[in-house]
Amino acid sequence: DIVMTQSPESLAVSLGERATISCKSSQSVLFNNKESLAWYQQKPGQPPKLLFYWASARASGVPVRFSGSGSGTDFTLTISSLQADDVALYYCQQYYSLPLTFGPGTKVEI
């Protein structure tokens, strides 16, 4: 199984400041020149919401202050200017191989 790790476990960021979350996979998730890596946002009592697929392709409706990047085994989710609505848990997930696996999550607070 591909093991996904995330850092930090939690971070507190001031409104309007940048938040950066790291995700690492235990092996490459490159498939047909695309990184099989997704990012999700989850708020309490809700299912996860897809933010990015193929590591950097923004899902429909996701604000441009969110960006996804990375390659190989190292990936990053960045919130350029944190808003109150961005307080949530953030997860990365690989879909390169079964079983689909997720990172443990990063809690973003203000």
| Cβ closest to other proteins, residue 68 vs residue 82 | 68
Nearest distance, CB of residue 52 and other proteins, angstroms: 8
Nearest distance, CB of residue 42 and other proteins, angstroms: 9
Q: Of 71, 57, 70, 76, which is closest to residue 28 (Cα–Cα)?
A: 71
Which uninterrupted H or E stretch holds 4? strand 4-7
Interface ranges with other proteins (CB under 8 A): 36, 38, 40, 46-50, 53-54, 59, 91, 93, 95, 98-102, 104-105
| Cβ closest to other proteins, residue 30 vs residue 54 | 54
Q: Which of 74-99 are b and which e, b meaning 16 or more Cβ less than 10 Å from the residue's Cβ? A: ebbbebeebeeebbbbbbbbbebeee
Nearest distance, CB of residue 41 and other proteins, angstroms: 12
| Cβ closest to other proteins, residue 16 vs residue 61 | 61
Tell me how far the alpha carbon of residue 96 is from its chain's centroid.
16
